[in-house]
Chains A and B, each alone.
Chain A
């Protein structure tokens, strides 16, 4: 049924660290690769060798520039389904194909009952739903539901493909409903935030902001390196005198 569960036992989701994401696309391609053969299979591609190559991807990496001039920043920004707590993508679905799991909060599409009306994609403010034109059904991030509980995997591999691949460690997976979980603590410590909080969808996934630029050493650096050591003669003469005196072994 399309109605949302009152509560979910867990709130599984991702925490994405914009401070360390370098925009390498590993999360995007590993997601494509896992899901093209997994629960979301197929993830079709169109015009693969032609003038308009595109396809179904469940995770996409943007890059932005923020601010102007020397204070501006470049931020790489991966974006996938945020597994919202109160998402309209579920409630608008006329078939019940779109649902939120009561056990862990994962928002999924049932590929056997989806009619491909695309309404859920209109309802999602995050552009996180991807209609598969060839397959005729809606696809979206499954939070790798076929990995995270997969008993044929080593326990440490029971994480989403994107998290497993990310080289900078910018992606974290866990239960954001448990205030003591590693991800919840990380969000707390780094002041993780919601995207478009004004939409009221209550995304489970959180983003960690780029950190303040570090100038630690500057702040604490003694001014030593700033002064030119006293003495007479040219800069070179003074330097030589110092070198001669200092190095006596």
Chain B
């Protein structure tokens, strides 16, 4: 009998039409092609031309269809009709919703605009939302950066004018040694994966420093299972070793950093620890050739890096490098000393240092690219030290994250590997000047806009937003003595502070795209109490009005009074702007848009368009024309094209000018969006080879960047190894200067505002009881889930519908805990129950779980008995938003003392086996939420 094969349609077209846009299953913002068939989304694949993902797609991006068609989508605007948290809502018209919001906001603006707290979460339109806050006149604005990774952003921006996060990337093509600190997934989700694949193929060594070995760590050549919060010791120890072996790029230091700047040594004086400056305010160096002080910026001197010198007034000064070297050469950072605390053997530290030195100094990369530096010196070739690093929340989410991240940058700079071939490279619009020049704006008064953007970078005590008594002026206490360099605000403190009127109450809390009553808050039970707490006298909620925009039925929706339902990412315009979070590559500034590829089938509107509408209804300056009519009647796309931040500078850098031929600066172009769409919804400007490296001192680049509007001046950017602004705060804490720290804060500022990076033990919720809380408890992002978004998606939740507590096998055995046992995870704040899974690849003192898998019963259109609610759990219930009381009764937030970065990963817990009758279900359990009216029916493609 013959072999029979049926006929198969082998060339069935995948779509009637393919439209490009930008993925938003996470913030990586890959280019996608949406295949549409019969008016529905049939398939999504990556755009091969796109600079971010070059055609690949991750696990989330490939499941986008089911997020788009999720039954958890909101259907129409709603107002709350039951008590807060009950989930009882009534659908209303957009007109009613917008009028209600306008009424509330107009009223507040007329009295005290600061009583509006406007906070946005997973936002990619901060250029717009920040501008709204500014024009409205409230300083109480921030996005999610404060609970995310402001430690990384701030440490980098203050130190070298760039940063990890999305502001830079390793030179994947040339690097010969790559170290990855505390990264499970990252915002550069696909680029990292693509790069790791290539590095491994090329035989480049990859080292993962992480208490947990999964994902990237699993494929690394070496996994260093460090104890959480001790990276500063490890990195400090590497620096110690490199100095000991004299493997430091001194030439690089004097060219690009403040290593040779002289620091005043006069302990009693107000300017102790500040840089010695000449009359013009220029920092001084000691020129060995002339044996005299000289402007440190001069390139014709031979500056001393060590030694003690005298100022004309007789006071002693020392090059900052000498102070730095002294710190790291002490025994404190000796590998033998740090081995126990870090759980990294001394031999390993020494070997890694040796490998770093080898890669940096023996494997120098030389490219045939001539370039000219800012001093006008032409270099025929571009050479670099090919060691590169990347770090994220494993460093940032600790209360010592700012200093640890600074130390990492110090290490990179000592090796001479910033923005050189094979090193860590800036992505436009970075580098920017150090320390960053823009300051946070102050509140002005009723019906008045702020004079500048609400967020900025203080350089000293005068820039803080505190009143005469040192009391915070922002609701989140950002830019106060609690967190002076809180460049991204402290979104995680807003609900607590507003409800406890500390520092003051607010009238309206307006939030967007942040699940603040669940996975993005600490201490959820307390947050839920705050959200429903009422004033005993008036019977009114302590947070009187809450407006919230979400696209899905999240936990936060249930606690809002007015819901502004957003579209899905495939239904709206968006702008991924260079004014906001860049998607540039190191060789090419780039920005992108999202275009609606399908029309909403519900009564929902894109939030940005709604915000522009609100601004117009409120008559905010810039949102209306002189005659009061809306300035951007076409909504967000209208704004993207026509809004100018400063003359010629707008949301998108590509196709500017009336003819669409200018880049960066140019008049609005009516056809701009069409050009973007024609080009795949992104625009990339490729830098000339001579502009690509050493951008901080590259004349061709800096001149161009100034023209493009990225930076104000084309002066070279000097790396701040020694961070003088910190010393200014410290001096204020020592009783110097016009703005001084309150007594309660002095010791703290004095200790942590060290201008030279150092390691200190992270704060800890269980501070006084560390002995019994022996485990660090941390979380990781699963690669296929995006925070709580993942469970909206009926495919992704099949992959992970519940989470376990992972423990080291050997350690568990000693505690009599077996795989699958249910355990209590305890700390002084409370306890959470979860099921244990044992593994080898985890630091023995660490337990961990996947983040944001646990959901509250009833949320996200899930059945109340969904595993997310019955077995999935959050560690957030145990993370206190406040540190224990100190003398004087003051409670600082559980954050980095410098930046206010939420210290999610400082958590310490004890683990105890649950009783036999306690197995099987997680704890705590909350009252199931009632689902508001939802979009309903879903269907696979």
Interface positions of A (Cβ within 8 A of B):
1, 3, 5, 19-26, 28-30, 32-34, 36-39, 42-45, 48-51, 53-55, 57, 63, 65, 67-69, 72-76, 96, 99, 101-102, 108, 110, 112-113, 145-146, 149-153, 156-157, 161, 164-170, 210-211, 213-218, 220-229, 234-236, 239-240, 242-244, 246-249
Report the separation of the CA atoms of residues A38 and B12 in the bound assembly, to the nearest whole angstrom: 8
B8 at the A interface (CB under 8 A): yes
- Besides A26-B56, A48-B71, 17 other CB < 8 A contacts? A3-B1, A20-B197, A25-B59, A25-B783, A33-B65, A37-B43, A50-B862, A50-B866, A51-B865, A53-B867, A76-B215, A164-B56, A235-B244, A236-B326, A239-B325, A243-B321, A246-B250
15 contacts between A and B (CB under 8 A): A3-B1, A29-B796, A39-B12, A53-B798, A165-B56, A168-B197, A215-B355, A217-B359, A226-B245, A228-B244, A240-B307, A240-B325, A243-B250, A243-B305, A244-B304
Q: Is the CB of A167 within 8 A of B11?
A: no
Selected from B12, B246, B841, the residue in CB contact (under 8 A) with A229 is B246
Q: Are B306 and A240 in contact (CB under 8 A)?
A: yes
**Is the beta-carbon distance between B254 and A224 smaller than 8 angstroms?**
no
B312 at the interface (CB under 8 A from A): no
| A164–B63 CA distance with the chains assembled, in angstroms | 14
Q: A20-B200, A22-B218, A222-B362 are in contact. Are A229 and B940 (CB under 8 A)?
A: no
B residues near A1, Cβ cutoff 8 Å: 1-4
A50 with B197, Cβ < 8 A, contacts A33-B43, A149-B11, A218-B354 known: no
Q: 6 shortest A-B CB distances, which residue pairs?
A: A25-B59, A168-B197, A167-B193, A74-B218, A30-B62, A37-B941
- On whether the beta carbons of A145 and B10 are closer than 8 Å, the reply is yes
- Cβ contact of B57, chosen from A74, A112, A167, A168, cutoff 8 A: A167
Given contacts A28-B59, A45-B798, A49-B866, A20 and B196 within 8 Å (CB-CB): yes
Tally of B interface residues using CB under 8 Å: 108
A152→B214 CA distance, assembly (Å): 39
In the complex, which residues of chain A have a beta carbon less than 8 angstroms from the beta carbon of B382? Answer: none
Cβ distance B786 to chain A, nearest Cβ, rounded Å: 12
Q: Which residues of B contact A249 (CB under 8 A)?
A: 251, 254, 302
A50 to B860, CA, bound (A): 11
CB proximity to A under 8 Å, residues B174-201: 176-177, 189-190, 193-194, 196-198, 200-201
Q: Which of A74, A99, A112, A165 contacts B45 (CB 8 A)?
A: A165
**Which of chain B's residues has its CB closest to A214's CB?**
B221
Instruction: Check if B795 sits within 8 Å of A3, measured CB to CB.
Output: no
A217 to B177, CA, bound (A): 9
* Bound complex: CA A37 to CA B69 (Å): 14
Contact partners of A76 in chain B: CB under 8 A = 215, 218
**Which single member of B5, B241, B251, B254 contacts A102 (CB below 8 Å)?**
B5
Contacts of B783 in A (CB 8 A): 22-25
Q: Are B194 and A33 touching (Cβ within 8 A)?
A: no
The closest CB in chain A to the CB of B57 belongs to: A165
Interfacial chain B residues near A23, Cβ < 8 Å:
214-215, 218, 783
The complex places the Cα of A216 from the Cα of B248 at a distance, in Å, of 22
- Report whether A224 and B329 are in contact in the complex, using a CB–CB cutoff of 8 Å: no
- B616 interfacial contact with A, CB 8 Å: no
Task: Check B197–A170 contact: CB distance below 8 A.
Answer: yes
Partner of A28, one of B196, B350, B799: B799
Residues of B close to A19: CB separation below 8 A = 200, 219
A67 CA / B325 CA spacing, docked (Å) = 42
| Chain B 18-59 near chain A by CB (<8 Å), digits 1 or 0 | 000000000000000000010000111110100001011111
Instruction: Give the docked Cα–Cα distance between A55 and B420 (Å).
Output: 49
Q: List chain B residues, Cβ under 8 A from A37.
A: 14, 37, 42-43, 940-941
Over the window 599-643 of chain B, the binary record of Cβ atoms lying under 8 Å from chain A Cβ atoms (1 yes, 0 no) is 000000000000000000000000000000000000000000000
* B4–A26 touching, CB < 8 Å: no
Give Cα A205–Cα B696 distance, bound, in whole angstroms: 49
Q: Within the assembled complex, what's the spacing in Å between the Cα atoms of A43 and B363?
A: 52
> What total count of A-B pairs have CB within 8 Å?
295
Instruction: Let me know if B217 is at the binding interface, CB within 8 A.
Output: yes
Instruction: Decide: A29 near B784, CB < 8 A? Known: A37-B43, A167-B57, A214-B203.
Output: yes
Residues from chain A with a CB closer than 8 A to the CB of B197 are: 20, 167-170
Chain B residues near A240 (CB, 8 Å)?
306-307, 322, 325
Q: Which of A110, A168, A248 contacts B302 (CB 8 A)?
A: A248
| B357 CB-CB contact with A under 8 Å | yes
What 0/1 readout, one digit per residue, does chain B (235-274) give for beta carbons within 8 Å of chain A? 0000001111111101100100000000000000000000
Q: Which of B55, B62, B794 contacts A53 (CB 8 A)?
A: B794
Nearest-neighbor residue (CB-CB) of A242 within chain B: B246
Shortest beta-carbon distance, A188 to chain B, in Å?
16
Is A24 in contact with B784, judged by CB distance below 8 angstroms? yes
Q: Is the CB of B4 within 8 A of A218?
A: no
- Inter-chain CA distance A168–B63, complex, in Å, is 18
Give Cα A116–Cα B42 distance, bound, in whole angstroms. Answer: 27
What is the bound-complex CA distance between A37 and B191, given in angstroms?
28
A107 CB, nearest partner CB in chain B, Å: 11
Chain A residue contacts of B306, Cβ below 8 A: 240, 243-244
| Distance of A224 Cα from B241 Cα, bound (Å) | 11
Query: Which residues of chain B from 43 to 95 have any CB-CB distance to chain A below 8 Å in the complex?
Result: 43-46, 48, 53, 55-63, 65, 71
Kindly supply a per-residue 1/0 record for chain B positions 266-306, scoring 1 wherever the CB is within 8 Å of any chain A CB and 0 otherwise.
00000000000000000000001000000000000010111
Chain B residues contacting A49 (CB-CB under 8 Å) are: 71, 794, 861-863, 866
Residues from chain A with a CB closer than 8 A to the CB of B938 are 48
Chain B residue contacts of A151, Cβ below 8 A: 10-11
Contact of B358 among A33, A169, A222 (CB under 8 A): A222
Task: Tell whether B539 is near chain A: CB-to-CB under 8 Å.
Answer: no
A residues near B321, Cβ cutoff 8 Å? 243
A225 touches B358 (CB 8 A): yes
Q: Is B840 an interface residue (CB 8 A)?
A: yes
State which of B4, B8, B44, B250 has its C-beta within 8 Å of the C-beta of A33: B44
Complex CA distance for A211 and B219, rounded to whole angstroms: 9
Cα distance, A113 to B5, chains bound together (Å): 11
In this assembly, does B9 line the interface, its C-beta being within 8 Å of a C-beta of chain A? yes
Asked if A145 contacts B8 (CB within 8 A), the reply is yes
Task: List, in ascending order, chain B residues with CB within 8 A of A224's CB.
Answer: 245, 247, 354, 357
Q: Which residue of B lies closest to A161 (CB)?
A: B45
